[in-house]
Every structure is written in structure tokens, then in C-alpha cells.
Amino acid sequence: MEGLGAAATGRAQRVAERERNPKWKHAAYVIDMAICINCDTCLRHCPPQFGAIFNHGLDVIIIAELCSGCGKCLPPVCPVDCIILDPKPAPTPEEWWKYPMAPDDPYR
């Protein structure tokens, strides 16, 4: 597969290319940390083939390029309804890219 012409289908490829699969029809999500209670249920329910949710210090983050918008993290999973649509996400901060594929990546 070469570049996004082949659609970044696998998680490792999406991490390497830092691109969201262009075939995904749903918007990515973002966590409102003003509401989040850091229970990590969203992280545990994010399917490993996407593996988009991580702990970042005291925050819980969603890497938009990895989020398919599947909704598996939404209520009733999230007890405080702090996960919202992010139809035009900003590029993921460089520092967040240390989490996917790291030795302690919970989705590996």
C-alpha cells in the first residue's frame, strides 16, 4: 500500500502516516475535560483496531486520526457524557504521538 491513495486502513499505518482513514463516514470525538471524571471506561471500550484514547497526565485524550467515530465510548459507557463530536479536529499535537505503538500502548 502506498500513502493515502490506498486509504490508511490499519492502525499501524494510520499512526505512521498520522492520517485518518478518509473512508470513515463519522466524525471523530473529543473529550471535554471540564466534565470528564477520569474513569477510563472510554479507553477500555475503544476497539483495539482504532486505539484512539489515551491517558495524558491527568487528562484523557482522543487522537482524532485514530478515532473512527464508532461511538463505543459514548454513554452508557461514559457515565458523565463528556465525549462530543469533533467534526473538524485540529491536528493532533506532536507530543501525543508518543502514545500509539509505545511499549505501554493499551491497544497493542
Does CATH number 3.90.25.10 belong to domain 26-90?
A: no
Contacting residues for 43 by C-beta, under 8 A, at least 6 apart: 53, 54, 55, 60, 106
The answer to whether residue 50 scores a pLDDT higher than 50 is yes
Confidence of residue 2 (pLDDT cuts 50, 70, 90): very low
pLDDT at 7: 55
Q: CA separation (Å) from 91 to 4, 20, 71, 94, 101?
A: 17, 11, 21, 9, 19
pLDDT at 9: 77
